[in-house]
Amino acid sequence: MRLDVFLQRSRLIRRRSQSKLFCDAGAVQVNGKAAKGSKPVRVGDRVRVAFWNRNVEVVVTELVERAGQRGAPSHLAFEVVLEERKDPLQ
């Protein structure tokens, strides 16, 4: 599954177009390396997203075929490993 699709389907980022922008801006890493939206994601990969006010790192536990798919809630597609807040005043 493509990284930008995973970010949208897992609901880490709401829209696929937004997830592609995050990837193109270098705000998304897979296994410690900056990744484009077309990078394949597999179960066990570590995905880190740098939002403007926080960093989130997750481990992919499941590849969800459709957003909101029955039997595979989007919140089970990953396990949060790290979530750190940024001070917006710095």
pLDDT band at 63 (very low <50, low <70, confident <90, very high): confident
Average pLDDT, the chain: 87
More confident residue, 9 or 68: 9
User: Looking at the predicted structure, is the pLDDT value of residue 73 above 60?
Assistant: no
Backbone angles phi, psi at 16, to 5 degrees: -65, -35
- The domains found in the chain, sorted by start residue, are 3-85 (3.10.290.10)
- Mean pLDDT across the stretch 15-39? 95
Which residues have CB under 8 Å from 73's CB, separation 6+? none
